Structure 1
Amino acid sequence: MEKWLKVDSIAQLVELSGFPPVAYPYFAIIRVEDLATLPGEFFQPLVFNFYTAGLKKNLSGAVRYGRATYDFNKGVLGFTAPNQVLEINEDMKNNGSGWMIFFEIEFLRGHALQNNIDQYGFFNYDVNEALHLSDKEEKIIEDIFQRMAAEYENNIDRFSREVMLSYLDLLLKYSNRYYSRQFITRNEVGSDLLKRFEQQLGQYFREGLFRKLGLPTVAYFAEALCVSPNYLSDFLRSNTGKSTQEHIHLAILEQAKILLLSSSRTVSQIAYELGFEYPQYFSRLFKQKTGLTPSAFRMRE
């Protein structure tokens, strides 16, 4: 069984790491260079019960996107959500620079981010789906981290938390913008991932896998393509205007139309064959997407 260290709170993180006491409840910021001072138990898989965001620079390692490899020489921005596994490797410890922030959901209480944090799907991306920044983007992101660090070191007043949350909100909005750019500009990676997704989706129905495995899921295609479900959906939405689930629904409907027009099976039989547990759900989806019930579609054609 893999050994890992569970850290439940920012206070526990500070206590275990030996970092200075936190200035803000539920929030901390450190320099990546300070990772070298961490005790040895931190250099194993970590599970934090809070959010992290980090700008890492000057790393010599490589990361895979699909079948292509990219280096870490320029700035890389990564995020984790609570209870994800994070690992600090020797390269980051010895050579890295940049910033890391840690925050609990309590820090967001009463702010719009409390309800909106889940819309930032990149908190659930895998490590190999980090955001690679251009020089200009890196300067903007680093400036936000530096402003957060400066505010963190100021004496706390009644405006402090509001200002810090504004910087955090700005960081996430810029990250969302830059991820959208990355989906578009990493042409080799993007075209390969889109092509492989379309192949996998077509293969699922051509080979009749729905008869054995049931309705295809986002998780199935994400695993087949070696990306996280959130990354795949965000990538497809950015490049095609449709999420993974919408692509799946369209493929199901195309297969359903073929079965409706090429066989005398009942609508319920077709629904079960496609993997629907309840035929009424199939009929509802079909009408929602086509404007016709399956029976009406069959009669019209």
Structure 2
Amino acid sequence: MKETTKIDTIEAYNQCFGLKTRHPLVSVVDLSQTTQWPDPLRFSYGIYALFLKQVKCGNIQYGRQTYDYQDGTIICFAPGQVAEVTRIPGARPSAYGLLFHPDLIRGTALGQEIKRYSFFSYAANEALHLSEEERQTILDTMRKIDRELDLPFDKHSRRLITAHIGVLLDYCMRFYDRQFATRSEVNNDVIARFEQLLDGYFDTDAPQHEGLPSVRYFADKVCLSPNYFGDLIRKLTGKTASEHIQDRLIDRVKELLLSSGKTMSQIAYELGFQHPQHLSRMFKRLTGMTPNEYRSVG
């Protein structure tokens, strides 16, 4: 078992690579300026981190996935995540990184919105691939943060820095939307597989043993992180993965109400509900009718 280095402060990260700490809660780092590089390196993050790769110099392992970290890609980490980096022998690291502690954004507009940036929980093999123009946009925004860190701190500094970080993350969201749209063939395969898995789940007795399926269940089946899978489904279909699951569930309830003499309790238990009234409430909310009303007019 490789030793894990806990990175819960900006100083802890900078010490690993011999970099200067200009602010205890935020840092823009140029990894080409490192004076040391522990190898192999296994980090447990307690801070937010975003890295823009300049040249190929190593691989990142995140969970069970290994990602060939190519030029012009962005990968992000959030507090609680663990990643392992292995450097190619003789290669000089070249990447820009933004690191910020949760305390920097606590009580700010960015702190209230940070969960919206779901790409922090994407797996390494779901990294953001940038065009040259997009790469330059990211670099320009990082440099604005870097320039703020070189100035004497005043009452405006924190607000300006967090605002620039928010702009940077908004650009990442825009570029991810583009990536979702341009990978139509691969993404359509994921959606088709999701539909097949939905049908297959309710065609078996899995609900009686496993209960209602979660978004994570289907994400695991298609080898994606739950956040990436959920965002992909929502962006390409206009509906969340949870809504797709609910729709398929309600379709199955309608079918059983009209094609069998089973009671609502029997149907609920068959579909994985522990309490029949939960299914009845869901059915009324989504269809505007109670199960008995639907059966009587069907």
Q: What is the TM-score normalised by the length of structure 2?
A: 0.91
Cα distance in 2 for residues equivalent to 1:158 and 1:11: 23
- Do structure 1's residue 38 and structure 2's residue 62 form an aligned pair? no
Residue 122 of structure 2 corresponds to which residue in structure 1? 125
Cα distance in 1 for residues equivalent to 2:119 and 2:150: 28
**Alpha-carbon contact 2:57-2:91 (below 8 Å) kept:** no
**Alpha-carbon contact 2:57-2:94 (below 8 Å) kept:** no
Residue 27 of structure 2 corresponds to which residue in structure 1? 28
Read off the aligned partner of 2:28 and give its amino acid letter: I
Cα distance in 1 for residues equivalent to 2:252 and 2:133: 46
1:155 deviates by 2.6
- Do structure 1's residue 280 and structure 2's residue 277 form an aligned pair? yes
Matches within 5 A, 1:77-116: 77-91=74-88, 94-116=91-113
CA RMSD of aligned residues (A): 2.4
Read off the aligned partner of 1:247 and give its amino acid letter: H
**Alpha-carbon contact 1:7-1:13 (below 8 Å) kept:** yes
Residue 176 of structure 2 corresponds to which residue in structure 1? 179
Cα distance in 2 for residues equivalent to 1:153 and 1:49: 24
Change beyond 3 A, Cα 1:193–1:61 = farther
Residue 237 of structure 2 corresponds to which residue in structure 1? 240
Read off the aligned partner of 1:24 and give its amino acid letter: H
1:70 deviates by 9.7
1:101 deviates by 1.3
Change beyond 3 A, Cα 1:105–1:60 = closer
* Structure 1 gap ranges (5+): 64-68
- Do structure 1's residue 50 and structure 2's residue 47 form an aligned pair? yes
1:226-256 per-position Cα deviation (integer Å, ceiling 9, x unaligned): 1000111100010001111111111111111
Cα distance in 1 for residues equivalent to 2:297 and 2:248: 21
How many equivalent residue pairs?
Answer: 294
- Secondary structure at the aligned position of 1:25 is classed as coil
Cα distance in 2 for residues equivalent to 1:95 and 1:52: 20
Residue 297 of structure 2 corresponds to which residue in structure 1? 300
Instruction: Tell me which stretches of 4 or more aligned residues in structure 1 moved more than 6 Å.
Output: 60-63
Change beyond 3 A, Cα 1:250–1:93 = farther
Read off the aligned partner of 1:123 and give its amino acid letter: F
- Secondary structure at the aligned position of 2:154 is classed as coil
206-215 vs 172-181, which moves further: 206-215
Change beyond 3 A, Cα 1:98–1:258 = same
1:300 deviates by 1.2
Read off the aligned partner of 1:38 and give its amino acid letter: Q
Change beyond 3 A, Cα 1:181–1:17 = same
Change beyond 3 A, Cα 1:172–1:201 = same
1:211 deviates by 2.8
Change beyond 3 A, Cα 1:239–1:70 = farther
* Structure 2 gap ranges (5+): 61-65
Residue 5 of structure 2 corresponds to which residue in structure 1? 5
1:94 deviates by 2.4
Residue 14 of structure 2 corresponds to which residue in structure 1? 14
**Alpha-carbon contact 1:59-1:95 (below 8 Å) kept:** no
Change beyond 3 A, Cα 1:25–1:173 = same
- Secondary structure at the aligned position of 2:173 is classed as helix
1:3-52 per-position Cα deviation (integer Å, ceiling 9, x unaligned): 422222223333444321x22231122113235x3342x63221011111
Q: What is the TM-score normalised by the length of structure 1?
A: 0.90
- Secondary structure at the aligned position of 2:85 is classed as coil
1:148 deviates by 1.6
Cα distance in 2 for residues equivalent to 1:70 and 1:115: 31
Matching residue within 205, 217, 220 for 1:220: 217
Read off the aligned partner of 2:174 and give its amino acid letter: R
1:193 deviates by 1.5
Cα distance in 2 for residues equivalent to 1:92 and 1:204: 47
Cα distance in 2 for residues equivalent to 1:18 and 1:254: 59
- Do structure 1's residue 197 and structure 2's residue 194 form an aligned pair? yes
**Alpha-carbon contact 1:33-1:93 (below 8 Å) kept:** no
- Do structure 1's residue 139 and structure 2's residue 154 form an aligned pair? no
Change beyond 3 A, Cα 1:92–1:210 = farther
Cα distance in 1 for residues equivalent to 2:258 and 2:221: 31
- Secondary structure at the aligned position of 1:88 is classed as strand
Change beyond 3 A, Cα 1:92–1:165 = farther
- Secondary structure at the aligned position of 1:78 is classed as strand
**Alpha-carbon contact 1:52-1:103 (below 8 Å) kept:** yes
